[in-house]
Amino acid sequence: MVNPLESILRLDDLNDRNAVAMLIESNAAGKVAYYASHIRGMIVMHDNSNVTVDTGLCSETFNCVVASHFSGHKVDFEVTRTIDHFVRKRLPFAWWISSFSAPENLGDVLTRAGLHFSEKDVGMAALLKDVAIPEPLPKNFQIHAVNNAREMENFANVLDTLFDPKDTELKKYYHMVASLNMRQERPMHLFVGHFMNKPICCSVLFLGSGVAGIYDIGTKPEARRKGYGTIMTLHALNFAREMGYHVATLQASTDGIELYKKLGFQEICEFHVYNNKDLLHRKKF
């Protein structure tokens, strides 16, 4: 079944790295903004320069800036304005920039403005025709689509184990998400893997910008190194393929790159992440 919300992108190869990088970035922007745009009190500011998400929560996981493309004469003003928005509200946030962001020295601009470089990830993409069909699930293991408050709680509990230090707002965020109408044609699909009826792993699929974005692949500590992350990834990819999608995207940490290459993904671009923790600690009110 094809997602009625958008047209699906058809590519025969991934040779145009800039175009694919733009798709990775655009899908990520859609993902981080989707729930916030439906929850009362949260703010999504979307223009030709970037996408800013302010959830009102004390969390750089959910407060973020992505898809930044500034003209040279506006960059300092826009960066200062965005940083001041969060600092005035005493809210942490993360600013994600990619190889496709503009201007090319945006990372330097963010650093000069007081943000701190915190993370590097790799944007990757795959043609779904090259990705293996999932094998039958292991005995006593099932995958549930999240379509009710109980399963949303299971998802949040699994995802929470991935954070060190803990994101204290994560469960509050997904409790608010659980109040939304989870209609079948939505672009966001959450999955929880259960072993012996206990939730142990999760994955997220976001269908946007014509491609299928994979996010939040995670397994509880006691169930790691048993292949569940791969199972959840392939399940989400196969779901997208059955929906008619041709291209999958994701952002991988450096230690996950080789695993995703084995599944058929290629390195496309880099993402650098900056946060405002230093500014929040320094600012006095």
What stretches of the chain show up as alpha helix (H) in DSSP?
17-34, 75-88, 106-112, 149-160, 170-177, 228-242, 257-262, 277-282
**pLDDT reading at 237 higher than 70:** yes
Percent with pLDDT over 90 in the chain: 86
268 or 48: which carries more pLDDT confidence? 268
Q: Which residues pair with 46 in a beta bridge?
A: 51
Say which residue the tokens 């965020």 belong to.
Answer: 173
pLDDT tens per residue, range 107-143: 999 999 999 999 999 999 999 999 999 999 999 999 9
pLDDT tens per residue, range 169-188: 999 999 999 998 766 558 99
Q: How confident is the model over 210-218, as a mean pLDDT?
A: 98
**pLDDT reading at 227 higher than 80:** yes
Whose CA is closest to 269, among 20, 55, 56?
A: 20
Task: Please give the pLDDT value at position 73.
Answer: 84
**pLDDT reading at 2 higher than 50:** no
Whose CA is closest to 193, among 165, 234, 245?
A: 234
Task: Please give the pLDDT value at position 248.
Answer: 98
Task: Please give the pLDDT value at position 182.
Answer: 67
- Phi first, then psi: what are they for 279, rounded to 5°? -65, -40
d(CA 119, CA 100): 17
Any idea which architecture 127-269 has in CATH?
A: 3-Layer(aba) Sandwich (3.40)
Q: How confident is the model over 242-246, as a mean pLDDT?
A: 96
**pLDDT reading at 165 higher than 90:** no
- Phi first, then psi: what are they for 182, rounded to 5°? -90, 75
Indicate the average pLDDT of the chain: 93
pLDDT tens per residue, range 56-98: 999 999 999 999 999 878 899 999 999 999 999 999 999 999 9
pTM: 0.94
Task: Please give the pLDDT value at position 1.
Answer: 37
pLDDT band at 100 (very low <50, low <70, confident <90, very high): confident
Contacts of 279 by beta carbon, 8 Å cutoff, 6+ apart: 83, 87, 114, 115
Task: Please give the pLDDT value at position 282.
Answer: 82
Task: Please give the pLDDT value at position 97.
Answer: 98
Task: Please give the pLDDT value at position 166.
Answer: 84
Which secondary structure element, helix H or strand E, spans residue 166, and what is its range?
none
Say which residue the tokens 């973020």 belong to.
Answer: 64
pLDDT band at 151 (very low <50, low <70, confident <90, very high): very high
Give the residue extent of every domain in the chain: 17-121+271-282, 127-269
Q: Which residues pair with 120 in a beta bridge?
A: 272
d(CA 237, CA 215): 11
